[in-house]
Amino acid sequence: MRIEHAFLFDLDGTLVDSVYQHVLAWKEALDTEGIDLSIWRIHRKIGMSGGLFTNQLLRETGIEITDEKNERLRHLHAEAYRRLGAQIRPLPGASELLQWLSDAKIPFAIATSGRMETAAVNIAALGIDPEAFPVITRDKVKYAKPDPDLFIAAAEALGVAIENSVVVGDAIWDMLAATRCKALGVGLLSGGYGQEELRNAGAIRVYEDPADLLYHIDEVGGRR
């Protein structure tokens, strides 16, 4: 008897080439609030929960991040990101990978630490119907990555056991979350993290981008 499984995708840096737009949007937001943080430090936090982002920011800068300031930063980031939205493109093979899964009748969902205000920009760039599959955003769960809530909610929306799911992401936060909910983690290099970093965080396989994953789809449970 075949075990029903599913693919649960991160969005930024996994399906769309948007990590550096997020970095620049956060840099603009932080600069507006008078918070000086190097771009490379921002990049290392993309993909984690916004709350954890600001907690780490507090530790690194010593600046008090109040709820009011945190909310301002979030809105400033979203506004800057929407302006950069025209630059965002699907990563190589992303559309083809999702189409292959649809044709193979393998369920999939998107689980992103971004809120819908920014996720909508990425979904539009993908050119896919967001009603055709579950899209779980930060707005729908209590905690975001590296907590596993997003992926658990995505698996539940598909009616598939999380232990039988394959989590595909570009960041260590995705792999840590996958490990915590006993899903299989598959890493992509398209977000800027290295192969060793992703493997150390729990990835069982690492590929270059969605196109490379599709080429090796049989290695991670893809069967027509």
Which positions are catalytic?
Answer: 10, 12
Closest C-alpha to 119, from 81, 145, 151: 81
For residue 2, count CB atoms less than 10 angstroms from its CB and return exposed for 0-12, middle for 13-18, buried for 19 or more.
Answer: exposed
Residues, the chain: 224
Cβ atoms of 144 and 50 closer than 8 Å: yes
Single-letter amino acid, residue 48:
M
126 in Cβ contact with 95 (< 8 Å): yes
- For the chain, how big is the Rg over CA atoms in Å? 17
DSSP per-residue letters across 89-151 = EEPTTHHHHHHHHHHTT--EEEE-SS-HHHHHHHHHHHT--TTSS-EE-GGGSS--TTSSHHH
Residue 123 one-letter amino acid: I
Which has the closest alpha carbon to 113: 122, 100, 104?
122
Three-state secondary structure call for residue 161: coil
